[in-house]
């Protein structure tokens, strides 16, 4: 534990704070977190925690979801610039217009969206529970699904629905190179490819398992195979490797070779250990949300939690 990590631990006790971290955060942040999870697990944990301050080491929409569920708590985000390309691909005005142009649809949105979009939704979902939530809606009821078109397409395939899809996507999950992935697989013929459903169809078609962040970790733990190529944000490898120390985990390659030649979410990496420390020390930046908006966004989130 570094001195900075120790200082964070100390501050956390002094301030009655809890640190929730997403799997995509850098290792040093995951090491000081009280709880590490995917977006569903973190939303559930945010609802359960008793501390008066929640420090959310993740991106803005995740901290916002924690605030929606905990209006009485102070929710801090190490850097307010930790956004999300997928959430950004669904602006409020155009989405409201889209809904108005397709009356009679139930609106299901993936949790990766702003509070304004949640407030326009009937149900929020994550990749862990999307199929269950869609399955709870009568078969003949038309559905709008937003914002991720890749996840929506995949869900249409597995549920047999024909949901109307909003045309959004995530830069990280669309950055995998099919050619490089095939080349990597040729080098490791025994490895199984596993993928997050935010990835494009041609990547998903190569996968032996498709699932949420938590689902992929469970799969690798239980699988008799010992080598995997993982098509999702590379941060997940840290926690996964801790759980399967004897298995080989290889990140799927991105089109552009950046620093690690794998897919990293630049938005997630805007948070640093120093910023986490400073935000806890100064209790800022804080994520706030107008009460009327929070109330409207809460209902579809609560429906999701009840069905999860
Ligand atoms: O933001 C993401 O890409 C994901 C998959 C989040 C989550 O934990 O479900
Ligand atoms: Fe958003 Fe994609 Fe980053 Fe997830 S990986 S936070 S969907 S930009």
Q: What is the DSSP string of 146-209?
A: ESBHHHHHHHHHHH----EE--B--TTTT-B-HHHHHHHHHHSTTPEEEE-TTS-HHHHTT-SE
DSSP string, 211-260: --HHHHHHHHHH-S--EEEEES-TTHHHHHHHH-TTSEEEEPBBSS--TT
Q: What is the pLDDT of residue 255?
A: 83
The DSSP symbol for 59 reads -
Q: Which protein residues are within 6 Å of ligand 2, measured from CB?
A: 59, 84-86, 112, 170-173, 233, 265, 267-268
Question: What is the atom index within ligand 1 of the atom nearest the CA of 112?
Answer: 1
Q: Give 127-161 pLDDT, tens digit per residue.
A: 999 999 999 999 999 999 999 999 999 999 999 99
Domain borders along the chain are: 3-82+268-290, 86-170+296-307, 178-251
HSE of 239 in the Cβ direction (CA atoms, 13 Å)?
Answer: 23
Q: What is the pLDDT of residue 181?
A: 94
Q: Give 217-261 pLDDT, tens digit per residue.
A: 999 999 999 999 999 999 899 999 999 999 999 999 988 655 455
For ligand 1, atom 5, name the residue with the nearest CA: 213
pTM score over 0.90: yes
Which residue is associated with the tokens 């999950």? Answer: 173
Task: Say if ligand 1 is within 6 A of residue 39 CB.
Answer: yes
Q: What is the pLDDT of residue 254?
A: 87
CATH class of 178-251: alpha beta
CA dist 13 to 8, 18, 130, 173, Å?
A: 9, 9, 36, 37
Per-residue pLDDT at 21 exceeds 90 = yes
CA dist 41 to 62, 213, 215, Å?
A: 11, 10, 11
Query: What is the share, in percent, of the chain residues with pLDDT greater than 90?
Result: 94
pLDDT band at 263 (very low <50, low <70, confident <90, very high): confident
Cα–Cα nearest to 53, from 283, 277, 299: 283
Q: Give 81-127 pLDDT, tens digit per residue.
A: 999 999 999 999 999 999 999 999 999 999 999 999 999 999 999 99
Q: Do domains 3-82+268-290 and 86-170+296-307 have the same CATH topology?
A: yes
Task: Say if ligand 1 is within 6 A of residue 116 CB.
Answer: no
Ligand nearest to the CA of 84: 2
Q: What is the pLDDT of residue 3?
A: 98
For ligand 2, atom 6, name the residue with the nearest CA: 84
Q: How far is 231 from 253, CA to CA, in rounded Å?
A: 8
Q: What is the pLDDT of residue 148?
A: 97
Residue 113: Cβ within 10 Å count: 29
Per-residue pLDDT at 179 exceeds 60 = yes
Q: Give 183-209 pLDDT, tens digit per residue.
A: 999 999 999 999 999 999 999 999 999
Probe target for ligand 1 pocket from 36, 56, 213, 237, with the most ligand atoms within 8 Å of CB: 213
Looking at 3.30.70.580, 3.90.1300.10, 3.40.50.10860, 3.40.50.10800, the CATH number of the domain 86-170+296-307 comes to 3.40.50.10800
Q: What is the mean pLDDT of the chain?
A: 95
Which residue is associated with the tokens 């120093």? Answer: 274
Give me the interface pTM, i.e. the ipTM: 0.96
Q: In sequence order, what are the beta bridge partners of 250? A: 229
Q: How far is 92 from 101, CA to CA, in rounded Å?
A: 14
Q: What is the pLDDT of residue 259?
A: 45
CA dist 208 to 13, 52, 152, 190, Å?
A: 43, 43, 19, 12
Question: What is the atom index within ligand 2 of the atom nearest the CA of 233?
Answer: 5
CATH superfamily of 3-82+268-290: NadA-like (3.40.50.10800)
Q: What is the pLDDT of residue 257?
A: 55
């Amino acid at each position: 534990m570094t001195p900075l990590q120790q200082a964070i631990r100390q501050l956390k006790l002094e301030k009655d704070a809890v640190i929730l971290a997403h799997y995509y955060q850098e290792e040093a942040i995951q090491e000081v977190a009280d709880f590490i999870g995917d977006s569903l697990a973190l939303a559930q944990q945010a609802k359960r925690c008793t501390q008066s301050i929640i420090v959310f080491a993740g991106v803005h929409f995740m901290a916002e979801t924690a605030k929606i569920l905990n209006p009485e708590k102070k929710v801090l985000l190490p850097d307010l610039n930790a956004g999300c390309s997928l959430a950004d691909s669904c602006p409020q005005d155009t989405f409201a217009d889209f809904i108005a142009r397709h009356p009679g649809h139930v609106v299901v949105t993936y949790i990766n969206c702003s509070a304004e979009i949640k407030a326009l939704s009937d149900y929020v979902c994550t990749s862990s529970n999307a199929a269950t939530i869609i399955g709870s809606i009568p078969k003949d009821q038309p559905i709008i699904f937003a914002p991720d078109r890749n996840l929506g397409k995949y869900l249409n395939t597995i549920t047999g629905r024909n949901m109307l899809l909003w045309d959004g996507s995530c830069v990280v999950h669309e950055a995998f190179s099919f050619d490089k992935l095939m080349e990597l697989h040729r080098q490791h013929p025994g490895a199984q490819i596993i993928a997050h459903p935010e990835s494009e169809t041609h990547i998903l078609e190569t996968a032996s398992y498709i699932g949420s962040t938590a689902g992929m970790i469970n799969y690798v733990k239980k699988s008799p195979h010992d080598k995997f190529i993982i098509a999702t944000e590379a941060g997940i490898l840290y926690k996964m490797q801790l759980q399967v120390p004897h298995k080989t985990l290889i990140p799927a390659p991105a089109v552009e070779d950046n620093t690690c030649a794998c897919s990293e979410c630049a938005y997630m990496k805007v948070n640093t250990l120093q910023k986490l420390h400073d935000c806890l020390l100064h209790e800022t930046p804080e994520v706030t949300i107008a009460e009327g908006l929070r109330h409207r966004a809460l209902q579809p989130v609560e429906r999701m939690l009840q069905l999860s």
